[in-house]
Amino acid sequence: MKFFVDTADIDAIRELAATGLVDGVTTNPSLIAQSGRDFFEVIKEIASVVDGPVSAETVAMDHETMLQEGRKLAALADNIAVKVPLTPAGLKTCKALSDDGIKVNVTLCFSAGQALLAAKAGAAFISPFVGRLDDISYDGLDLIEDICQIYANYDFDTEVLVASCRGPLHVTEAAKIGADIATVPPKVLHQLYNHPLTDKGLDAFMKDWAATGQSIL
């Protein structure tokens, strides 16, 4: 499973990229607003720090303007994936950009039918939002299972990018299902490291080692 980081916080991205665990980055207009920075500057900076795809989202509602925005965003760096919403205009734009060889991430997916349409429109990535489905008492992971099954049935190349991950279980359950990618806030990536028995075991090893009076270096 690939890990994308879901943030526009360049310091957090740099820190996590240094671990070698980051395969890409996703942003959205809310994350850009939170960063307080210029959209184009921050996207270019992220794209220079991370080798993998960096999703930058369009904000127009109509196809023609969305297409212009998508082309402008794609020109910022070789590793930009243009993010468009799962609307008729978004899927038309997805098809046009994909035909031009630009990677498109179709976002705000909440049903298997929507995911099927995105794959047929040539999306490189589909972003189903598991956390937001959980928020309204639907099991977001059921949707991941359905999409993975449908894409396997028809050999679609579209990668399932599990979005709106709220904790480590969303990541590991999605990995069990076989989703291609999880995009996670930095906090969730840090949470994946944690286990109380790791901390407890390490404490005991360090105490016992100190008692030997030896050193490795």
State the catalytic residues: 83
Q: Which of 101, 74, 70, 71 is nearest to 84 (CA)?
A: 70
* Residue whose CB is nearest to ligand E4P in the complex, by number: 164
Nearest residue (CB) to ligand E4P, 86 versus 163:
163
Q: Which of 67, 125, 129, 119 is nearest to 92 (CA)?
A: 67
Measure the CA–CA gap between 162 and 141, rounded to whole angstroms.
9
Q: How far is the CB of 161 from ligand E4P (least distance, A)?
A: 7
Q: Which of 117, 116, 167, 121 is nearest to 141 (CA)?
A: 167
Give 129's DSSP letter.
Answer: B
Nearest residue (CB) to ligand E4P, 131 versus 178:
131
Please state the φ and ψ torsions of residue 208, each to the nearest 5 degrees: -65, -40
Q: How far is the CB of 26 from ligand E4P (least distance, A)?
A: 4
With beta carbons less than 8 A apart as the criterion, state whether 185 and 6 touch: yes
Q: How far is the CB of 206 from ligand E4P (least distance, A)?
A: 37
Nearest residue (CB) to ligand E4P, 17 versus 182:
182
Alpha helices by DSSP H, listed for 75-185, are: 88-99, 112-120, 130-135, 140-153, 168-177
Q: How far is the CB of 61 from ligand E4P (least distance, A)?
A: 17
Nearest residue (CB) to ligand E4P, 106 versus 206:
106
What lies within 8 Å, CB to CB, of 85 at 6+ separation is 58, 106, 107, 108
Per CB under 6 A, residues contacting ligand E4P are 6, 26, 28, 107, 127, 129, 131-132, 163-164, 183
